[in-house]
Amino acid sequence: MKLPIPAEEQFQAPAHHERVTSRIGLALAITFTTCFVTGLISHLIQHPPGWFSWPSRPIGLYRVTQGLHVISGVASIPLLLAKLWSVYPKLFGRPLVRSLPHALERLSILVLSGAAFFELTTGLLNVAQNYPWGFYFPQVHYAVAWLAIGSILVHVAVKLPIIRRALSRTTTAAEAPAEASAEGLSRRGFLVTTGLATGVAVVATAGATVPFLRGVSALSWRSGKGTQDLPVNRTAAAAGVTWSPTWRLSVVTARGTMKFSLDELRALPQTTAELPIACVEGWSQSATWRGISLPTLLKAAGAAPGTAVRVSSSERGGLYGVSVLPGEHTADELTLLALELNGEVLAPDHGFPCRIIAPNRPGVLQTKWVTKLEAL
């Protein structure tokens, strides 16, 4: 039996009109670009090339860029679905391949949809801390982002004449009656529905990073809850770390290695600061930290503030047991080797006996269970 395949021209619903496609495309271009740029920033901070430096102030900037990354990614999901719905009759266009440029255009759309879909699903699963794949998420998510943005640029360039025409406001007299008599959801109706779905998706997740939305964010993960009023990303048990009274902090400088017991650290001048943890996975939360500022500690050990420092933890085998504090951060009085959180001694899950907490840094670099600092 042969199934009747409809021709492209037979899809008459207003949702498939090029003006709808272009409007949603424009919204998608904005959310995707925001997502790409903020993602790139996050990647550069975590893997800084020589030319890149990230300031330690304002303290909450990364909280904003990474919050935007997750929110714009979430907003892109309903927009992408609506866009695909709006253009899917094109998939029925025949003949399948008309010319070489046409074939390339179809291929680029395949790459574009695949890459965009991959980015949004892996990103969302990462936010939900669900890792059903065997690859190292950040690298693949980063590589495919370039594929997505590249194919978007090609796509926009190819479609520019149509986009121009569709976004110019005048409705021709010939079009107006067709729009008025169209059955089902009108163009406006489809756009409004898409906008609402996007708004709901954003509000349902944004509470993870925007405090006043917490009450309405049904899908907001782990904000507000947790030991000492702060979410825990990796517990001491999961990291396999234990502590004994013989513990010492090693500070390695050009002058040699100095060792500090916990009591000796407590005897150094302490600084209190209100700083957020801004997890790359999207949640962020502010807390009150108390400990030794890095400039103070470096001076006590005989090194100059502003020297880059490698931070190692007692965690073995984890991906986040080591980080590097660049000079911008070791010179900042608000970069702390924290001993206390919200007025109490650090809980084991938050990094007892001491952890790094620095302004304007991804959470993943706020190393817990610190045992060694090396001036580089």
Ligand X SMILES: Nc1nc2c(c(=O)[nH]1)N[C@H]1C(S)=C(S)[C@@H](COP(=O)(O)O)O[C@H]1N2
CA atoms within 13 A on the CB side of 263: 2
Residue 340 near ligand X by CB under 6 A: no
Select from 13-21, 133-141, 189-197, 271-279 the region that touches Mo ion (CB under 5 A).
271-279
Name the minimum Å distance from CB 52 to ligand X: 21
Identify any residues that bridge with 341 across adjacent strands, giving them in sequence order. 289, 344
Residue 67 near ligand X by CB under 6 A: no
Cα 53 from Cα 289, distance rounded (Å): 25
Name the minimum Å distance from CB 341 to ligand X: 8
Closer Cβ to Mo ion, 148 or 364, answer by number: 364
Angle at 146 between CA 144 and CA 147, to 5 degrees: 60
Which secondary-structure segment (H or E) carries 100? helix 100-127
Position of tokens 């100059």? 304
Which secondary-structure segment (H or E) carries 178? helix 175-181
Copy the structure tokens of residue 83: 């866009």
Out of 151, 313, 363, 368, point to the residue binding Mo ion (CB under 5 A). 363
Q: Which among 328, 327, 337, 332 is positioned nearest to 270, based on CA atoms?
A: 337
Residue 358 near ligand X by CB under 6 A: no
Beta strands, E only, the chain: 249-253, 256-260, 271-278, 284-293, 309-313, 322-325, 336-341, 344-345, 355-357, 370-375
Residue 249 near ligand X by CB under 6 A: no
Residue 364 near Mo ion by CB under 5 A: yes
Select from 80-88, 141-149, 295-303, 366-374 the region that touches ligand X (CB under 6 A).
366-374
Select from 2-10, 20-28, 213-221, 311-319 the region that touches ligand X (CB under 6 A).
311-319
Closer Cβ to ligand X, 159 or 214, answer by number: 214
Name the minimum Å distance from CB 313 to ligand X: 4
Contacts to ligand X by CB under 6 A: 230-234, 239, 277, 279, 313, 315, 318, 320-321, 350-351, 363-364, 366-369
Would you tell me which residues interact with Mo ion (CB under 5 A)? Answer: 233, 279, 363-364
